[in-house]
Amino acid sequence: MKAESSNESFIIGQRVHSLNDSRRVGTVKYVGDVEGYSGTWIGVDWDQDGDGKHNGSVNGVFYFNGRSQSSASFVRSQNLSRGITLLQALELRYRTISTKDEEDEMYVLSAGNRRVSIQLLGGDKIQDKLSRFEELTSASLSYLGVSSLGVSSDLGSILPNLKLLDLTGNLISDWEEIGALCEQLPALTTLNLSCNSLSSDIKSLPELKNIRVLVLNNSGLSWTQVEILRRSLPGIEELHLMGNMISTITSTSSSDDQAFNSLRLLNLDDNCISDWSEVLKLSQLPCLEQLYLNKNKLSRIFQSVNGTESSEKGSDPFPSLSCLLLGANNIGDLASVDALNGFPQLLDIRLSENPISDPVRGGVPRFVLVARLTKVQVLNGSEVRAREKKDSEIRYVRMVMSKLNDKSGEIELLHPRFYELKKLHGIEDERASAENSGPKNIASGLISITLKCVGPSMGEKPHLTKKLPGSITVGKLKILSENFFKLKSIKPRLFLQEEGSPFPTALDDETATLLDVGICDGSTLLVDEES
């Protein structure tokens, strides 16, 4: 069945929202008759799954392709809004006077469950200031159904000082209109167009010299479109591209232009990048300081592609990068962690919600990551203080020594910082020392640990500090804990509490020694009970 091209002012491809809910936004996909129903219907594919009732087919008749099984519906024209202009949205947001009914709804409940009205101190003055558009420096017009920016020559005089404009979740799609808006607002430096279905035609966009921060989250842009867009953004410093299903990145280091040369922050969270070689295409951005790659599909990190240098000879990858967020990916190997040491300025790293940082999934505890990362100052959002850094490195060296004491070749391959750290902290080979010394050396092999009872059935018990050989096993320590705290009919479970880590690490391998699991002098262990 062939759809009509338009009905009144609704046309195929037009962005609309539900008349009574400006957050229910969609795209017109069909205008015409629906078999079995009278009159003209507007077929809308809604942005949010579940906002519709079907996939564009009704009673076995196909009308249009919906994004999902529950994203499409047919609506009468009177139940849809074509949107409002930018100035109308400003009037609605900042010049609308609260009605008495709305003011009556502002209350708190007293101890006697009675309503006590709230009066906003200075509310009239604030409202008066916001209503003077010429004084506005920032405006939030999110989810107001703005479909037209209504650009006119006097817009600059109406909003001469506007620096930040948030247009999240509206009906905007035309880049030419966006460009005209930026030209008419000379003070505008930050523009948020998230959750707008933006046109793929960006060729008509003028140069936006004043824009420093551009937010395009969930806007449907591919990196190919970003490459076209960047030519109009010579001064861009922050670019946010969350949730755009980006999986590939075209090179940004072409010699014929200044591609993103002022970009300091690039947010690619919640996309579909799975290959680190795609990320390496960003490695020569000279000013890039923060790169967000949380919630992608990355499984490995490396510095070269197919054994060749990933960047120009003699230049480091990511020369200015100080913050790299890689949370909630699929990184599971320590070689990827070691590769991060090749970024010369990298200090802030996030690896949480990856297999490598989760001991339950075969990963390593926090102290191993701290020890292997040469320059890290913030790990998973928690500051790495000098004391934690030193303790982690010592624990790490002792752990490796206990496992691979006589296997120097394997140590060099699997633990590239081991000999550097061993020398730095003056750690001797304890097993060799024990063999060459008498009983006097036994005391030097003891480590001091603090045991804390936390089990709900254990009652209040004072903390104990004990000196024990690092060679005893976790299983033996469990038995000792039962004796230390006189735990009758309670089977203990041990956890290692680490500085900077939000959760303690379970010690479930009863055959591992204390040194094997990274326990060193000054460690704190929690004695819980088996559930």
Q: How confident is the model at residue 118 (pLDDT cuts 50, 70, 90)?
A: low
Which neighbouring-strand residues pair with 25?
A: 17
The mean per-residue pLDDT over the stretch 454-458 comes to 86
Position 375: which residue type?
K
Strand ranges across the sheet with 378-379: 138-140, 164-166, 190-192, 213-215, 238-240, 265-267, 290-292, 323-325, 348-350, 378-379, 382-383
The contacts of residue 61 (CB under 8 Å, 6+ apart) are 1, 35
Question: What is the reported pLDDT for 197?
Answer: 92
Measured CA to CA, the distance from residue 377 to residue 286 in angstroms comes to 22
Q: Which CATH number fits domain 84-96+125-250+257-303+317-389: 3.80.10.10, 3.40.30.10, 3.40.50.300, 3.50.50.60?
A: 3.80.10.10
Q: What would the CATH number be for the domain defined by 14-81?
A: 2.30.30.190
The pLDDT of residue 298 is: 98
Whose tokens are 């936390």? That residue is 454
313 — pLDDT class (breaks 50, 70, 90)? very low
Residues of each domain in the chain carrying CATH 3.10.20.90? 446-529
pLDDT band for position 305 (cuts 50, 70, 90): low
Mean pLDDT, the chain, as a whole number?
A: 85
Give the pLDDT band of residue 465 (cuts 50, 70, 90): very high
- What integer is the mean pLDDT of 174-197? 93
Is the confidence at residue 437, as pLDDT, over 70?
no
127 or 360: which leads in pLDDT: 360
Q: Tell me how far apart the alpha carbons of residues 214 and 116 are, in angstroms, rounded to a whole number.
A: 43
Question: What is residue 8's predicted lDDT score, i.e. its pLDDT?
Answer: 57
How far is 178 from 205, CA to CA, in rounded Å?
A: 8
Instruction: Say how far apart CA 236 and CA 209 lie, in whole Å.
Output: 8
Q: Sorting pLDDT into bands at 50, 70 and 90, what band is 57?
A: very high
Closest CA to 250 of 237, 234, 231: 231
This prediction's pTM: 0.80
Q: What was the pLDDT predicted at 115?
A: 60
Q: Where in the chain is the domain with CATH 3.80.10.10?
A: 84-96+125-250+257-303+317-389
> Is 338:416 a contact under the CB 8 Å cutoff?
yes
3-state DSSP assignment of residue 266: strand
The answer to whether residue 5 scores a pLDDT higher than 50 is no
Q: For residue range 392-423, what is the model confidence (pLDDT) as tens digits?
A: 998 899 888 877 766 777 888 889 999 999 99
For the chain, what percent of residues have pLDDT higher than 70?
84
Specify whether the CB–CB gap between 222 and 214 falls below 8 A: no
Residue 329: pLDDT band (50, 70, 90) is very high
pLDDT score of 123 more than 60:
no
Specify whether the CB–CB gap between 81 and 18 falls below 8 A. yes
Q: How far apart are CA 511 and CA 505, in angstroms?
A: 16
Is residue 345 pLDDT above 70, yes or no?
yes
Query: Is pLDDT of 308 > 50?
Result: no
Which is more confident, 99 or 472?
472
pLDDT confidence of residue 486: 87
Does the structure show a pLDDT above 80 at 254?
Answer: no
Residue 505: closest CA among 363, 382, 397: 363
The arrangement of secondary structure in 446-529, i.e. its CATH architecture, is Roll (3.10)
pLDDT on residue 131: 58
pLDDT digits (tens, 9 = 90+) for 208-241: 999 999 999 999 999 999 999 998 999 999 999 9
- Please state the separation of Cα 436 from the chain's center in Å: 53
Which pLDDT score is estimated for 7?
45
Which of residues 170 and 502 earns the better pLDDT score? 170
Please compute the mean of the pLDDT values over residues 169-186 and round it to a whole number. Answer: 91
**What is the pLDDT averaged over residues 288-312?**
79
360 — pLDDT class (breaks 50, 70, 90): confident
List CB contacts of 36: < 8 A, sequence separation 6 or more.
59
Question: Which residues of the chain does CATH 2.30.30.190 include?
Answer: 14-81
User: What's the pLDDT score for residue 109?
Assistant: 62
* Chain center to CA of 383: 18
* Residue 3, pLDDT above cutoff 50: no
Res 511: pLDDT: 84
pLDDT confidence of residue 110: 57
**H/E element, 329:** none
Rounded Cα–Cα distance for residues 391 and 522 (Å): 9
Cα distance between residue 452 and residue 434, in whole Å: 30
